Structure 1
Amino acid sequence: MSSKNDSNTNSNAPANSSDDARAELTAQVEDLLNTLSNKFAGVSSEIFAKMDEMSRRLDNLEAQLVSVKDPKTSSN
């Protein structure tokens, strides 16, 4: 009977090893996806901040151009 138990143990070992490897791979992929998601969120925030800054600067430039073009409006 011990030979049957040994063969069962041996046949289960690759399945358990395969399951462990699959679980480890899944965990690593999920970690990678989380890391990429966090980096994407950070880059997105930076881009939006730069766009807001650019919009503010363009608004200031537009106001300066309007005041230079029509000096009557800047004196009022």
Structure 2
Amino acid sequence: MASKNDSTANQTSSTNDDARTELTAQVEDLLNTLSNKFAGVSSEIFAKMDEMSRRLDNLEAQLKENKDKKSGSS
């Protein structure tokens, strides 16, 4: 009878180990997915910030140019 209990305990332990392994794999997969999405969003944000910076630089140059034209024609 003791060997039957040992066998049941080993099966339960094996099932728990399998469940932990599967859960660990799923959590790692989820973390990798979230990391990839975060990297993508970060790249998009930096690209938009670079574009905004470029546009602001152009606007600043145009305003300076207009100011210089008005100062020169006065």
Runs of 5+ in structure 2 lacking a partner?
none
TM-align CA RMSD: 1.3
1:5 CA drift (Å): 3.3
Q: How does 1:32-43 map to 2 (within 5 A)?
A: 32-43=30-41
TM (norm. structure 2) is: 0.88
**Which has the higher relative contact order, 1 or 2, with Cα contacts under 8 A spaced 6 or more apart?**
1
The runs of at least 4 consecutive aligned structure 1 residues that moved more than 3 Å come to none
Residue in 1 that maps onto 2:10: 12
Identity %: 71
- AA aligned to 2:56 is L
**2:26 corresponds to which residue?**
28
Runs (5+) with no aligned partner, structure 1: none
